[in-house]
Homo-oligomer: A and B are copies of this chain.
């Protein structure tokens, strides 16, 4: 007979491990416990079912207990909670949630896939009936039926992360007024502030009230009033808490398995916990960051599935390790796609990793073919070796493709300069002869080769104060949308003839709309003996941050 393998948690990593285990061995006994009613449901689809984009509830149920049991010859026990693990005896203690029946189940190998749960601070009013979190199908049913019964006209979403923004969009799609409260100074923590500024703008353009740098203090009036830390009061009909998640580590802690500082279950490359007979996968584990190898916790679907497979493989002697999590993520925010991979500036600073930055604003495909959308792209890299550290892209079209290309380049060990050599598919409906990813590579190469010195959107003011001479090389008509006060306007095509208007003894800071003409201008200036640098990302990157803060609630 084969092994007896017990899995705790039947969603994502747990379900993947079960299916893989069966493919590796027909003779093993596989018992999968799931606390809830449903296994392997579409977590990532829940907001869209609430919003109505996904119309049938059935579609959320990727695998049913019956179907998966049959196909993979599994003993699936849903509605069953594991209360404790006895490492020495190699048993788990189970309780059926409906019948109350309790029993012990033995294992040769145990896989923990408990997931993460929403953080719910214990503020006054948190237990009102119109306060929700969203993690599973019952949560979804509760929100959906509340919405359908009470026809709320206003929702308050607390937390501007993935789920918060997806819920804001989906509730707005149902005709509700939505207020998003975010404690930080920006939504979407995985992107840096000048990129989040596009999201802020889009939220406001779509009628979402966005309140930054404020948090929930209490809920009053039977859930009809949200009181913020600033004492600002919001009249609302329902509240979604999407502040963040924390690992479901109780079983692991009680069993004395090693957990990390932030509570993630510690595992080795093969997903084994400190007890080699116990594996752990998914949102509850602490993994290595792919780029820096530092510990991190990334509650996303891809890592969970990958880890489930790696654990199953290792149980059958396949020594393929988990390479760490890059953290590639994506979210739809109304008409925009926000995509990231690797590390952002905030995290690089925290880890004390030096980096350089490039912002560009190419079209998603050839400008002469209809439907091209402007993209805001950012790449972070190391100047000395060209190592790509991370990328962020926001656009109405083409962001998902380019982030995947960059994530692939990182896994392939390509340098930022080698992005220029990617031979990507071009026809006018899809890209440009130089793809936006090639362009990122070219601009970064210019910085590495010292053909180009840049400064960032937040460095302009200091540069002016230090005596830089600022030149706007756009055409006069473009200045109508705004300009940097004190800049001299010399259109690029006149620059060669008007060099005598520039001071030789001051650094010339050049900017244009998106950065390309500014670069050409710095080349002309440098060749003519000036010290010149270009505003990275041009007016587009600079101005979005101004618009964003101008709208912010003070």
A interface residues, Cβ below 8 angstroms from B: 12, 22-23, 25-27, 42, 44-45, 48, 53-54, 59-60, 62, 67, 70-71, 73, 162, 290, 300-306, 323, 325-332, 337, 339, 341, 366-370, 400-401, 403-405, 407-409, 411-414, 418, 420-431, 433-435, 451, 492-493, 496, 520, 523-524, 527-528
Contacts and interface: CB of A to CB of B under 8 A. Distances in A.
Contacts of A411: 409, 412, 414, 418, 421-423
Contacts of A71: 492-493, 520
A198 B553 CA distance: 54
Contacts of A370: 53-54
Given A12-B433, A429-B332, A423 B326 contact: yes
Contact of A44 (B366, B404, B420): B366
A42 B493 contact: no
| Number of this chain's copies in the complex | 2
Given A48-B369, A325-B423, A431 B23 contact: no
A400 B412 contact: no
B27 A527 contact: yes
Contacts of A434: 302, 305
B302 A433 contact: yes
Contacts of A323: 421
Contacts of A408: 405, 408-409, 412, 414, 422, 424
Contacts of A25: 527
Contact of A26 (B401, B424, B528): B528
Contact of A423 (B303, B424, B429, B493): B303
A400 B436 CA distance: 14
Nearest to A324: B423
Given A22-B523, A330-B427, A411-B414, 9 more contacts: A42-B428, A44-B426, A44-B433, A45-B428, A300-B426, A301-B426, A306-B421, A412-B414, A413-B413
Given A60-B368, A366-B45, A431-B400, A341 B425 contact: yes
A288 to B, nearest CB: 13
A426 B528 contact: no
A170 to B, nearest CB: 12
A462 B329 CA distance: 46
26 contacts: A12-B433, A22-B523, A25-B527, A27-B527, A42-B428, A44-B427, A45-B428, A53-B369, A53-B370, A70-B493, A71-B520, A162-B427, A300-B426, A302-B423, A304-B433, A328-B423, A328-B424, A328-B426, A330-B430, A404-B422, A404-B435, A408-B414, A411-B412, A411-B422, A411-B423, A412-B414
Contacts of A304: 433
A46 to B, nearest CB: 10
Contacts of A306: 420-421, 423
A396 to B, nearest CB: 12
Nearest to A61: B368
Contacts of A327: 423
A54 to B, nearest CB: 6
A389 to B, nearest CB: 15
Contacts of A424: 302, 328, 404, 407-408
A330 B67 CA distance: 39
Contact of A527 (B26, B48, B413): B26
B341 A301 contact: no
A480 to B, nearest CB: 21
A412 to B, nearest CB: 2
A527 B22 CA distance: 10
Query: What 9 pairs between A and B have smallest CB-CB spacing?
Result: A412-B412, A26-B527, A330-B425, A301-B433, A59-B368, A401-B401, A408-B408, A326-B423, A400-B430
A420 B411 CA distance: 11
Contacts of A12: 433
B412 A425 contact: no
A31 to B, nearest CB: 18
Contacts of A303: 423
Nearest to A332: B429
A426 to B, nearest CB: 6
Most buried by B among A27, A302, A435: A302
Contacts of A302: 423-424, 426, 433-435
A523 B423 contact: no
Most buried by B among A162, A330, A428, A429: A428
Contacts of A73: 496
A329 to B, nearest CB: 6
A407 B430 contact: no
Contacts of A326: 423
